[in-house]
Amino acid sequence: MNLNRRSFLAALTASAGAFSLSSRAFAQSPFIIPTYGGTWAKFWEETLVPGFAEATGIQGRLDVGLGKDFVSKIRAGGAASPYSVFMGNEHIAALLRAEGFFEPIDMAKVPNATKLHEGLLNPGNSGLRGIVSPIGIAYRTDMVETAPKSWTDLWDNPEFRGRIGLYQIGNAGALLFLRLTAKLYGSGDLDIDTAFTKLKELAPFTQASWSGEVSTSLMRGDIAIAPVDWTEILTLQDKGAPVEIVVPEEGVLAYEQSFNIVKSGASKDDAHAYINYLINADVQANMAKVFYTSPVNTESVVDGDLAKRLPIVGDKMSRIIRFDWDPYVDIAADVADRWNREIG
């Protein structure tokens, strides 16, 4: 992350729109910002939180954890949530939304939301997807003779048999792949019976709980091919690994981080300002450099060299296969239990 932080922050201060230099110079108490660990926490601590403070005057304090941790704290907080903003995969956000913990975004307070690519603002303004990490088919170039072109190649190409890696059900990637399988082979993306039948046809396969495990399995040669996000594969390529990733003919899946206003949060104005800042065009472009994510803002500019490595940017964001997670809420627990019993 060799960034010109001073010039970057100065540009963001000028472009933060309605929230530049809030009338309250600094918050009476810190605004709690949930985020993930590792590189995420480093970027938030060193770049995003200072930039947010400089652009808005709002002091943020990080709470580093996993989506499940944020969910537990919101549920435990009841009428006094420790968070005013939630960050987590959209399928997790749908659970909390169904339980009544969120309220619609006040669009007047998030002007950058009008610049989002289509499909990233939820119906009724009930949250938006502010960070997008596309998932394609990754493979070892020295272990695969025929590069995949379609998701169905995982079933149809015999050289992949017994050499496939998949996510475990606790990872959003597993749910995305399950619903994709239902869409490809069943009556629709909620045809779970057909999805399980088809998944069993891929056995035996290696399961991983997170993308780093997929990378490790690829590098050890335990697997030759797997659905995985661009972030992980481009990072491996940076290290000289013999891996490639493709956009399947049908389109890509994507980890989509959902940002929502917590109904019982004490700092909702700060939460709106934070979401507005996060989806700022320059912030999104900078995150693409660090995480290889696809900018959600239509005005974000990705430079030529990086754009060549990120095929899902700009108009190509339409190639993301998305699912409605609200109707999935009622079957989520049963699907997880069935996966553990039948897939292992």
Other residues' Cβ atoms within 10 Å of the Cβ of residue 112: 25
Question: 262 pLDDT exceeds 80?
Answer: yes
Domains and CATH numbers, the chain: 5-131+256-319 (3.40.190.10), 133-253+324-342 (3.40.190.10)
pLDDT in the model for residue 304: 85
Question: 6 pLDDT exceeds 60?
Answer: no
Question: 1 pLDDT exceeds 50?
Answer: no
> What token pair was written down for 315?
């108009």
Other residues' Cβ atoms within 10 Å of the Cβ of residue 111: 14
Contact 118, 318 (CB under 8 A): yes
Provide mean pLDDT across the span 206-210: 91
Give CA–CA dist 262/182, Å, rounded. Answer: 32
The amino acid that residue 18 corresponds to is: A
From 60, 59, 61, 57, select the one nearest 25 (Cα to Cα): 57
For residue range 167-207, list pLDDT tens digits in order.
999 999 999 999 999 999 999 999 999 999 999 999 999 99
**Considering the entire predicted model, what is its pTM?**
0.89
Q: Strand (E) positions, 78-236?
A: 85-89, 102-103, 128-140, 165-167, 206-208, 225-229
Prior bond to 158 cis, omega within 30?
Answer: no
